[in-house]
Amino acid sequence: MENKNHLEELAYIRSMMEQSSRFISLSGLSGIAAGTVALLGAALVFLYTEVMPFSQRKYYFEGVVREKWGMDYMTFFLLDGIIVLGLALSLGYYFSKRKARKAGQKMWTPSSIRLLVNFLIPLVTGGIFCLILMKKGYFGFVAPATLIFYGLALVNGSKYTLEDIKYLGIAEIILGLLGMWYVGFGLLLWAIGFGILHIIYGIRMYLKYDR
Amino acid sequence: MKHIIKSLNKAFDNRVRLGIMSILMVNDWVDFNTIKEQLGLSDGNLASHIKALEKNEYIKINKEFVGKKPRTTYAATGVGKLAFEQHLRALEALLNQNDKEKDSK
């Protein structure tokens, strides 16, 4: 009898510590949405460069001088990247907010702000890093570098939200490092990391936490 | 057995106070409203328990103004953290002991 009380008490303490220090309203649907957007973004790049996945060894060298749809290579890449990032973040925000509202929790709490700050520091660093890479002409390293910095952002943020995010982050970092080595496969790995991994992870987290 | 029960802290013999301490164990300086919402309490209810913990010197209080609004934040003191950890250990010890007794029966 007493045992049950103590057990309950410990469980209560643990859940309060957890809830007050982590943002747990992160929705699996956010991941699925971000992954879908990323796949569309990658598909656009494949169309633009007219290189099909798995056969893209050469386009980094040919593509630099290409112009299509009234845009040069760099403008197109930037625009595509910014639209994908913007859409993924807004959809992610939307689904998490919906989940928070359903659970009667607030979106902006000290822990969600901490999550955001810790997530954004590596991400913004990576964004600037990639802009410099592009400006200096190292196009082949851009896609893998976004994977690496995004992975670091996830690992860094995972302390303040569902811990599963950490493993997604590590997977992104590994894909990014592979892409640094096998330069021609950057975009393909990018599509796997941002598209497919997000969707798989999103479904897993949805089944685990959202229902 | 009796010895362990003695080491359970009376100050934490209450859900609200347990909740407050749990939050302050893992966060530095949390404001009143955040604690209130996290635990789902009324102003008066939370205030009375905070007063009790303050009396034991388990938590410390900081008052400041953000613009014109007063903002009160709370943090666990070293003494408070130690006492809470002891309480946790006692709870765990009790559970283990009871399990063992059950096994031996």
Average pLDDT value over all residues in chain A? 84
Q: So what's the pLDDT on residue A1?
A: 44
Q: So what's the pLDDT on residue A91?
A: 92
- What is the three-class DSSP state of A69? coil
Q: Is the ipTM of this complex over 0.95?
A: no
**pLDDT tens-digit map of A41-51:** 988 887 877 66
**Better pLDDT: A62 or A134:** A134
Tell me how far apart the terminal alpha carbons of chain B are, to the nearest angstrom: 16
Q: Does A53 touch chain B (CB under 8 A)?
A: no
Residues paired with B65 in a beta bridge = B70
Q: Break chain A into its structural domains and give their ranges.
A: 27-93+113-210
Closest CA to B89 of A21, A13, A16, A20: A13
Q: Which residues between 100 and 119 in chain A have a beta carbon less than 8 angstroms from any beta carbon of chain B? A: 106, 109-110
Other C-beta atoms closer than 10 Å to the C-beta of A66 total: 14
Counting residues of chain A whose pLDDT is more than 90, the rounded percentage is 33
Query: Which residues neighbour A76 within 8 Å (Cβ) at sequence distance 6 or greater?
Result: A45, A48, A68, A69
The pTM of this model reads 0.73
Size of the A and B interface in Cβ pairs below 8 Å: 50
User: Nearest chain A Cα to B35, which residue?
Assistant: A20
> Cβ contact (<8 Å) for B30 and A19?
no
Q: Which residues of A touch B30 (CB under 8 A)?
A: 20, 110
Residue given tokens 């570098």 in the structure block? A145
**pLDDT tens-digit map of A69-82:** 777 777 888 888 88
Digit-by-digit pLDDT tens for chain B (105 residues) are 556 666 677 778 788 899 999 999 988 888 888 888 888 888 888 999 999 999 989 999 999 888 888 889 999 999 999 999 988 888 888 888 777 777 665
Residue given tokens 């939370």 in the structure block? B46
Cα separation, A133 vs A142, in Å, equals 7
Domains and CATH numbers, chain B: 2-79 (1.10.10.10)
